Amino acid sequence: MRRILSFALLLIAICSAAVAFSHSSPPASSSSVPPEALLAGSSRKPPVNGWTVVHLSGTPGQIGYQHGYLLAPEIADLQKVFLLELTHDNGKDWNFFREEAKNVMWPHIEREYRDEMQGIADGVNARGVKLDVWDIVVMNAAEEWSYYVGQYDKDHKIASPSTVTAPDHCSAFVATGKYTRDGKVVIAHNNWTGYMDGSRWTVVFDTKPTDGYRFVMDGLPGVIHSGDDFGINAAGIVITETTITGFSGYDFNGIPEFVRARKAMQYSASIDDVAKIFKDGNNGGYANDWLIADTKKNEIASLELGLKNVTLERKKDGYFVGSNFPINAKLAAEETNFDLKNPGLSGNARHKRWEQLMQENKGKIDVAAAQKFLADHIDSVTGKSEPSERTLCGHVELSPRGMGTWQPAFGTAGSVQNKVTDATMASKLTFTAAAGHACGHDFVAAQHLAAHPELAWQKPQLRDMKAYPWTEIAAE
């Protein structure tokens, strides 16, 4: 009897170990499949006006392998940027992020996206780049690590660096009905981030997965979601967002934001689909006001996604604007340190300017108008044309108030690229994009570093960011 009991206990131990191993172990490598088969249906176009279009298709493992193989040099380069940024800003070493990615995030990532990220690792390794799947997960979670670390430090009673915060990310709007020239959807977004990673945010993914809808989105090399975010899928759904400034809170048992963002882009056929995917397993990471357009129904929505407070508003006539201000006063009070009454804050100043532009251009908004909005340099506080952290075309480095007005970690920061589409273009999986500042201003790294020796830590990875003209990008 004791022998039977001992054997049963041994079986239980083995099964438990197997379950634990499956939670933290990567899926099987695709390296045993011939590269020719894995690369079938993929291609990489030469850069056009700063943008590199990559076509991916197939199973999750195939898509991942193609991604990693075709963009291996760029993925290796971006990993060095994130290594510098994440360790500097969060006060943790790279191994910390690898371990948290493996032990905390990985168990909440569904198999499809595990396979895709393993495929990316296999693809870069086939090109001689020595990164593994945990490095790839760390890179994919880049936008939510500050939320993660903020909560981790709080739970462990660690004093976080001042750079562990949710900064102002992006300016965006979506409009339809009486506000647009043809009465149909127009949607636009520019990405605000540090110029180190922002100058690399120039990949467009045209992806045809075996499951879900075909989609096009801007993105970073090695990352399975857009990250900033802007994308269109074949069901007529367009998704973008702006970050909620000063947000804090993170649920370690939730689904990583990058997984939900990718899934929403790939599987949504309605505004309700988008909202459901984002809310299911919401971990609070990269808390945003998501602007959504259903171009087939000519309906738009704002999904303000906090951790405790979530609000969905929709319209068939009107607009939503985003510039990192909290909409829901309860969310602002409970989950942020943002001062809604301070007109000089970047989010509030840009919000006011968006409202001015929407009213001044009612009935006239189209793609050309949206492009001009994203290049706007009017400071709504002073009424002057004065590029800074308070203008829709963001130039933190030019602010007369100093670079600390945005976030200490990103003194070299602002809008780094721009996208616009309308209902007609979206039906063809097409949008227009401008890499760099939409206003045409080039950023020269050497000049900036010479003027700001305190940013010498950025020198290894900071590079020039040229402003390119607007370019039409289409799925093929």
* Least confident window among 4-8, 87-91, 151-155, 260-264: 4-8
Q: What value does the mean pLDDT of the chain take?
A: 92
The confidence score (pLDDT) of residue 27 equals 77
How far is residue 348's CA from residue 325's CA, in Å, rounded to a whole number? 6
CA dist 444 to 408, 412, 455, Å? 20, 11, 14
Q: Where are the domains of the chain?
A: 171-474
pLDDT at 469 over 60: yes
The confidence score (pLDDT) of residue 405 equals 59
The confidence score (pLDDT) of residue 471 equals 98
Which one has a higher pLDDT value, 458 or 10?
A: 458
383-393: burial string, b at 16+ Cβ within 10 Å, e else:
eeebbbbbbbb
Interstrand relation of 186-194 and 413-422 (parallel, antiparallel or unpaired): antiparallel
Q: Spell out where 269-342 has E strands.
A: 288-294, 299-305, 310-315, 318-322
* Least confident window among 33-42, 282-291, 298-307, 310-319: 33-42
For 139-196, what is each residue's pLDDT tens digit?
Answer: 999 999 999 999 999 999 999 988 888 777 799 999 999 999 999 999 999 999 999 9
Strand partners, 378: 385
The confidence score (pLDDT) of residue 476 equals 81
> CA angle, corner 424, sides to 420 and 428, nearest 5?
90
The confidence score (pLDDT) of residue 15 equals 43
34-55: burial string, b at 16+ Cβ within 10 Å, e else:
eeeebbeebeeeeeebbbbbbb
Share of the chain above pLDDT 90, in %: 86
pLDDT-based confidence at residue 108 (cuts at 50, 70, 90): very high
The confidence score (pLDDT) of residue 14 equals 39
Share of the chain above pLDDT 70, in %: 92
Mean pLDDT, range 405-409, rounded to an integer:
51
pTM of the model: 0.93
For 13-61, what is each residue's pLDDT tens digit?
Answer: 434 444 444 466 777 675 566 678 899 999 999 999 999 999 999 999 9
Find out whether 322 and 230 touch, Cβ atoms under 8 Å. no
For 236-273, what is each residue's pLDDT tens digit?
Answer: 999 999 999 999 999 999 999 999 999 999 999 999 99
For 217-239, what is each residue's pLDDT tens digit?
Answer: 999 999 999 999 999 999 999 99
pLDDT at 428 over 70: yes
DSSP per-residue string spanning 27-79: PPPSTTS-HHHHHTT-EEPPPBTTBEEEEEEESHHHHHHHHHHHTHHHHHHHH
Mean pLDDT, range 196-213, rounded to an integer:
97
SS3 446: helix
CATH class for domain 171-474?
alpha beta
